[in-house]
Structure 1
Amino acid sequence: MIVIKEAVKRFLDVNVLDHVNLTIEDGDKIALMGPNGAGKTTLVRSILGFYHLDSGSIEVDGLSPIKMRQRVLTNISFIPQTPPPIKLSLTELIEYVAKSSQVVPQAIFEEAKRLDLALEQNLSKPFFKLSGGMKQKMLIAIALAKKSKMLIFDEPTANLDPKAREKFYNLLEELDAKTSTIYITHRLEEVESLVNRKIYMDLGKVVEDERV
């Protein structure tokens, strides 16, 4: 699904990605680990087309995430560690997602309910005024309702309480076997039962890539 060849990304003359080579196939469930500054988030943002590489290439289903970004993003859902300051109300956000990603609004409500997020009581609230946990649940509900071929979570449970974490991981266990997932995490123990591959990065390089 994703082929990365000799990917280099520099910031202030530092190779944050240093000739990274990686292939991610359909159905891979990956724990992406490493210290802060290892290049994990930069790699993901390059896959999403947020960053232009200085050299090398990335292809998602044979498409460039820079040149064909809209088509690439139709098949990927990204849940960041820090939710964006979206000013839309939840009603407006659901309508936007429904139109832009062809998601049935009811599917978002159903996923939110499974995460114990009471959407009906908060539809008029701007997204950015929700609590951290509610924002995270909303983004997860949208991602699951979208049924993307790939889900990417950056520290997926950072804003969730223990009960919500348990529900979240139970939902992930129900994903289609062909769905690929990447968990950027410092808590391997939380995702260990969900992954079949561990990738460890340091200083912009992939230093370990193990199938489990």
Structure 2
Amino acid sequence: MIQVSNLTKKFGSHISLDSVNCEFNKNESIALMGANGAGKTTLIRSIMGYYHPDAGEVLINGLNPVKERMKVLEHISFVPQLPPPIKLSIDELLQYITVSANVDKELIKHYANEMKLDIAANMSKSFFKLSGGMKQKLLIAISLAKKSDIIIYDEPTANLDPKARDDFYRLLKQNEEEKVLLFVTHRLEEVKDLVNRQIYMDLGKIVSDERV
């Protein structure tokens, strides 16, 4: 589903990705690990079409994520480490997502409730003014409701309390078939029961890629 071939990305004289090769396929749950500056975020942003490669290519279901970005993003759900500064109310945000990404609003509400987020009581509140945990729960609910082939989580449990983390892992277990799940994480112990593949990056290269 995701094919990365000889991918190189430079920022000035700094090489962020150094001829990276890897594939991510259906039914794989991958922990992508490495120190800050290892290239993890650059790889994720290249997969999503944010960056133009200096060499090599990325293909998502055979599509180039830079040239055919709208089509590619239809297949991807992404939850960033830092929630975006969205000023819309929750009601407006759900309406926007329903129209722009063809996501069932009631399904978002279902997953929000499963994450113990009282969405009905907060519909008029600005997303921007929610607590970090509430933002994270809503973004997770949206990612699951979208029913994407590829779900990417960047430190998804950073703002979640232990009970919310348990709910998150339970929901992922129920929704992991026929998907690529990609976790960018510094805490392997939190996702080790969910992943079947562990990739370590360092200095823009993949230094370890193991099935578990």
TM-score (norm: length of structure 2): 0.98
Deviation at 1:93, TM superposition (A): 0.6
Deviations 1:140-166 (A, max 9, x none): 000001111011000010000111111
Deviation at 1:71, TM superposition (A): 0.5
Secondary structure of 1:121 counterpart: helix
Mapping of residues 1-212 of structure 1, within 5 Å: 1-212=1-212
Deviations 1:162-182 (A, max 9, x none): 111111111111114211100
Partner Cα distance (1:10, 1:4) in 2: 16
Partner Cα distance (1:5, 1:143) in 2: 27
Percent identity (aligned): 56
Deviation at 1:131, TM superposition (A): 0.5
How many residues are aligned here? 212
Deviations 1:103-159 (A, max 9, x none): 111000000000000111111111111100000001000000111101100001000
Give the partner amino acid of 2:184.
I
Partner Cα distance (1:16, 1:150) in 2: 23
TM-score (norm: length of structure 1): 0.98
Give the partner amino acid of 1:43.
L
Deviations 1:35-66 (A, max 9, x none): 01000011001000111111110000000000
Secondary structure of 2:21 counterpart: strand
The 4+ residue runs of structure 1 with deviation greater than 4 A are none
Cα RMSD for the two superposed structures: 0.7
Give the partner amino acid of 1:24.
F
Give the partner amino acid of 1:16.
S
Q: Which runs of 5+ in 1 are unaligned?
A: none
Q: Which runs of 5+ in 2 are unaligned?
A: none
Give the partner amino acid of 2:156.
P
Deviation at 1:100, TM superposition (A): 1.2
